[in-house]
């Protein structure tokens, strides 16, 4: 009996040795990412990069601290980001070029559907108007699934730049943006009490007075403040009840134009598509319209 047991024991030992020799050790994604990031920092002499105090794996650098008080979680923040690949420097995403990702600081921990708490952590180290760079391991960014919408590959380490704007309130930012745009373009415009700026080039010759319940037919071109056209209808087929259109139109057209009237209006985001945007129009975007009223029906 003792000899049989010894034989079994020897057999088990042999199998253990055999399987152990076939086993391959795999590095965790955490260790793979950590090595890539530390090598990148060393190679590029990024001596100002600071490791996350909680040692979760990301590094950051405050590029511009900003002015005023450091952000706190309950504060409103208007901000944007640029997402690049760390090793290849490919720009995968520039958020809201003509608007911004305005929210409370405490809710800045996501980007394009991915949970990225490092964004909030770093914004809490900035003041309004500040900028920062964050180097993120893939598992703290878009992970093994990447992001198809932005063509971010699986397990991609990310180089993220965050810009916060000087204004904490969107209405103040809109006003500053519009005033700067009007001045730079050399425009002569009137500011309505609503915050819409307008310049009437022709009142029109029709007899129907425009009200919120009027159905208007119009030709129009809509642009962002950088001049990019986001929508246009110049064949005279666009028609709608004024009250169903964006609020900025309704602030200016009634009482100022009739059929045949032409106007340019610059609309703050709150009277356009607000914080959420619509279609290709991002949230918090100011809009610039040229409008010609071709018909009014009451």
Q: Tell me the CATH number at 271.
A: 3.10.50.40
- Please state the rounded mean pLDDT for residues 214-242: 96
* pLDDT computed for residue 7 by the predictor: 52
- Please state the rounded mean pLDDT for residues 185-194: 97
In the DSSP assignment, the letter for residue 90 is: -
Q: Tell me, yes or no, whether 35 and 157 share the same domain.
A: yes
Q: Is residue 197 part of a domain?
A: yes
Q: Which of residues 118, 146, 164 is at a domain's end? A: 164
> Of 57-61, 72-76, 161-165, 277-281, where does mean pLDDT reach its minimum?
277-281
Q: Which of residues 117, 133, 164 is at a domain's end? A: 164
pTM: 0.85
* pLDDT computed for residue 26 by the predictor: 72
* pLDDT computed for residue 207 by the predictor: 87
Q: Tell me, yes or no, whether 130 and 149 share the same domain.
A: yes
Q: Tell me, yes or no, whether 39 and 103 share the same domain.
A: yes
Q: Tell me, yes or no, whether 41 and 160 share the same domain.
A: yes
- Please state the rounded mean pLDDT for residues 175-194: 97
Q: Tell me, yes or no, whether 132 and 208 share the same domain.
A: no
Q: Tell me, yes or no, whether 39 and 67 share the same domain.
A: yes
CA dist 140 to 56, 111, 152, Å?
Answer: 8, 11, 14
Q: Tell me, yes or no, whether 41 and 127 share the same domain.
A: yes
Confidence of residue 30 (pLDDT cuts 50, 70, 90): very high
Q: Tell me, yes or no, whether 159 and 204 share the same domain.
A: no
> Of 14-28, 80-94, 114-128, 239-253, where does mean pLDDT reach its minimum?
14-28
* pLDDT computed for residue 18 by the predictor: 47
Q: Tell me, yes or no, whether 274 and 184 share the same domain.
A: yes
Domain extent, residue 191, equals 170-297
Contact 214, 237 (CB under 8 A): no
> Of 12-16, 161-165, 212-216, where does mean pLDDT reach its minimum?
12-16
For residue 195, how many other CB atoms are within 10 A of its CB? Answer: 19
Residue 9 confidence (pLDDT) above 90? no
Q: Is residue 238 part of a domain?
A: yes
- Please state the rounded mean pLDDT for residues 187-216: 95
Q: Is residue 229 part of a domain?
A: yes
Q: Which of residues 164, 179, 197 is at a domain's end? A: 164
Cα dihedral value 142, 144, 150, 152, nearest 10: 100
Residue 22 confidence (pLDDT) above 70? no
Q: Tell me, yes or no, whether 115 and 154 share the same domain.
A: yes
Q: How many domains does the chain have?
A: 2
Q: Tell me, yes or no, whether 44 and 145 share the same domain.
A: yes
Q: Is residue 9 part of a domain?
A: no
Confidence of residue 73 (pLDDT cuts 50, 70, 90): very high
* pLDDT computed for residue 2 by the predictor: 40
Mean pLDDT over all residues of the chain? 92
Q: Tell me, yes or no, whether 139 and 189 share the same domain.
A: no
Q: Output the furthest CA–CA distance in the chain (Å, rounded).
A: 115
Going by C-alpha positions, the residue among 132, 172, 177, 287 that lies closest to residue 221 is 287
Q: Is residue 13 part of a domain?
A: no
Residue 275 confidence (pLDDT) above 70? yes
* pLDDT computed for residue 206 by the predictor: 85
């Amino acid at each position: 009996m003792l000899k049989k047991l010894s034989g079994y024991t020897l057999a088990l030992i042999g199998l253990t040795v055999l399987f152990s020799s076939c086993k391959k050790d795999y590095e965790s994604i955490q260790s793979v990412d950590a090595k890539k990031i530390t090598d990148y920092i060393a190679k590029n002499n990024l001596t100002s990069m600071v490791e996350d105090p909680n040692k979760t794996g990301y590094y950051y650098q405050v590029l511009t601290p900003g002015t005023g008080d450091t952000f706190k979680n309950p504060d409103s923040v208007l901000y944007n980001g640029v997402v690049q690949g760390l090793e290849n420097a490919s720009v995968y995403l520039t958020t809201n070029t003509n608007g911004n990702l305005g929210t409370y600081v405490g809710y800045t921990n996501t980007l394009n559907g991915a949970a990225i708490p490092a964004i909030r952590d770093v914004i809490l180290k900035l003041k309004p108007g500040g900028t920062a760079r964050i180097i993120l391991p893939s598992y703290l960014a878009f992970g093994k699934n990447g992001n198809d919408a932005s063509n971010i590959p699986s397990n991609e380490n990310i180089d993220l730049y965050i810009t916060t704007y000087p204004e904490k309130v969107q209405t103040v930012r809109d006003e500053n943006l519009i005033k700067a745009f009007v001045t730079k373009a050399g425009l002569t415009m009137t500011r309505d009490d609503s915050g819409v700026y307008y310049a009437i080039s022709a009142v029109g010759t029709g007899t129907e007075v425009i009200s919120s319940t009027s159905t208007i037919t119009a030709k129009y071109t809509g642009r962002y403040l950088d001049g990019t056209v986001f929508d246009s209808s110049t064949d005279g087929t666009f028609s709608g009840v004024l009250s169903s259109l964006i609020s900025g139109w309704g602030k200016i057209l009634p009482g100022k134009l009739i059929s045949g009237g032409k106007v340019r209006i610059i609309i703050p985001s709150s009277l356009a598509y607000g914080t959420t945007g619509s279609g290709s129009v991002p949230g918090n975007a100011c809009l610039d319209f040229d409008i010609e009223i071709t018909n009014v029906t009451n």
